[in-house]
Amino acid sequence: MKNTTEDILQSQLAQCAAALKSCLASADKARAAEDILTLKDELDGATALLNASARLGEALARLRGETSHNINVTRQG
């Protein structure tokens, strides 16, 4: 079975979602333990994964012929 570009991008998007879920769970634990450094690291990781997910989603949309996407991910604090 040959993986198409779309299959690969969808797989990567799913992996980003799983990693994001893990980062947010770790961030919750760090917040509860008042471990600020770990909390910051996990939130930074979550932000990077959201950016990667947005880019993957945009690439999938382009492959499907969809256009006109405006994606902004910002983290405050």
49 vs 72: which has the higher pLDDT: 49
Average pLDDT rounded to a whole number, residues 32-43? 95
Domain extent for 37: 5-63
Tally of domains in the chain: 1
Integer Cα distance of 27 and 42 in angstroms: 5
- Indicate whether 49 belongs to any domain: yes
Q: Give the count of beta carbons closer than 10 Å to the beta carbon of residue 16.
A: 20
pLDDT of residue 18: 96
- Indicate whether 70 belongs to any domain: no
Long-range pairs for 40-43: beta carbons < 8 A, 24 or more residues apart: 43/75
Asked whether the predicted pLDDT for residue 77 surpasses 90, the reply is: no
